[in-house]
Amino acid sequence: MNYGVLPHGGKLVNLPSLEKQRSEYLKENLELKKVIINSKGFSDIIILAIGAFSPLEGFMSKKDYESVLNDMHLDSGVLWPIPVTLSVTLMKQII
């Protein structure tokens, strides 16, 4: 018998990348636009990565965001009262 507590939404999300994936992400990163995030955004990334926002697998889609605002549930029907979004500022290119 398992008496453990199930994660919210029934699924624990764990996002840390494996070392091989990490090096691939870093190579791809060189071609992406750079953004500035605040400390709350950085904290939310860590919380997502360790699964504390399970069942979320990333920042909310527009569908989930609007569902949370209107019904306090994710689009899937899971109770979720607060939107989880990322505010960013694009970095200006240095010439």
* Per-residue pLDDT at 95 exceeds 60: no
Compute the distance between CA of residue 29 and CA of residue 12 in angstroms, rounded to an integer. Answer: 27
What is the token pair recorded at 73? 């549930």
Could you tell me if 87 and 36 are in contact, meaning their C-beta atoms sit under 8 angstroms apart?
A: no
**27-71 pLDDT, tens per residue?**
877 877 778 889 999 999 999 988 899 999 899 999 999 999 999
Considering the domain 11-90, what is its CATH architecture?
Roll (3.10)
Distance linking the first and last C-alpha atoms of the chain:
63
